[in-house]
Amino acid sequence: MTSSTNNLGLTERQAIFCSIGFYITTALVMVNVNKWALNTISVPWLLLWSQLLIAAVLHQLSATLGMLRMPKLRFDVVKSLMPMVAINVLGLSVNMFCLFYVDTSFYQIARGLVLPFTVAFTFLFLRQRSSMFVLASCTIVFVGFMTGVTVDINVSKLGVLFGIGSSITTALHAIVIKKSLEYVNGSSIDLVYYNNILSLVIMAPIVLLSGEVSFMSKMLQEGGEQRAFNHLLVGIAVTGVFGFLVNVAGFLQISHTSPTTHMVSGAVRGVLQTLLGYFAFHELITGGRLAGIVMILGGSTIYTFARVKEMQAAEAAFAIIPMTQQDVRIEENMDAIVVEDESSEQAVDEKQTAHTAEK
């Protein structure tokens, strides 16, 4: 580990520690404050749309301060990105409703099928086969999901269905993003901006049709629970800011660490999420729920190590190829030099023979 410092005066070790801590903290705050707000007033659509609005405002503010560059909205790009935006809106919706119906300690299990669906969709759409270790890790994750769902009797079936839907949309979103980057010249910042703005526009009529805005307005006009409304405003503000920061935190962690560290930090976040659900919301952690979480996190960790090994093997094979080609080119050049030398010697001999004949 090097001891070089960055622009903030931190060593590499300190930068890694801060990036991991930042990611875990923002993700935990996001989930728990969302659950707290939903427990206060049941307005999931309004809460989600308000978070998108705050994220868009923060994006604009960052561009005004010169921290980010704002792309110009183009109709052809908007049209090309609509499949990704549709999946994103659907994913955010089922994710929010999953959290609405299940405990935070069960949230990790309800959305536990992201890895198996990702591997399956990668094969179906990209025709990429997986190794036996990857398939084994998916099997462990699936068994963990089934253990947590079937053994734990205090589980909302509707929440589990939303969790499965969240896993499917998350897996599809990861695949669609790879294709969508082509439309914004590979700029992830531009893709985030388009995704956020278009999702905000699409969800606006959904929020109005849900009746949640009318419900909030009527509650305030009738002198309803002002305390509950204040809690909702606090929840919207906090989750909106942290929803923006969690994306930044993810980029920071990945840039400073390896994929293995990213998965390990995710496992740590899952454990802390379970503990916070127990202490903050007084949730019951059964043996089946605990076993499911352990198997899901264990299978995900095995998958990460397997993928890292595959990447290292691919990089090693790729590193050998250029050397082999270089060796071939060197041999070809050497052969050319030899041939040229032999041709030169032959030409000299022919000239000497012709000169002797003339004499």
pLDDT values of the chain reduced to their tens digit, one per residue, 359 residues? 444 445 555 566 666 677 677 777 777 787 888 888 888 788 899 889 988 898 888 888 888 888 777 888 899 999 999 999 999 899 989 989 998 999 888 888 888 898 899 889 888 887 888 889 889 999 999 999 999 898 877 788 999 999 999 889 988 887 888 788 889 888 777 888 888 899 999 999 999 999 988 888 777 776 656 677 777 788 888 878 887 777 666 545 544 555 445 555 665 666 677 777 777 777 777 888 888 888 988 888 888 788 778 777 777 766 555 544 444 444 445 454 444 444 444 544 554 544 444 44
Strand (E) or helix (H) holding 37 = helix 12-40
Burial class (CB in 10 A: 0-12, 13-18, 19+), 108: buried
Longest dimension (CA), the chain: 126
Q: What is the pLDDT of residue 312?
A: 77
In Å, how far are 48, 95, 222, 262 from 237, measured between CA atoms? 11, 19, 24, 27
**So what's the pLDDT on residue 266?**
60
CA 71 to CA 112: how far, in whole Å? 35
pLDDT at residue 51, rounded to an integer: 86
Domain boundaries, the chain: 12-320
Residue 74 is inside which H or E element, if any? none
pTM confidence score: 0.75
d(CA 186, CA 171): 20
DSSP SS3 for 1: coil
186 CB-near residues (< 8 Å, 6+ apart): none
Helix and strand numbers (H, E) in the chain are 12, 0
Nearest alpha-carbon partner for 135 in 266, 302, 249: 302
Partners of residue 5 on adjacent β-strands: 11
Q: Look at the alpha carbons of 136, 142, 148, 153 in this order and tell me if their dihedral is positive or negative.
A: negative
Distance of CA 144 to the CA centre of its chain: 22
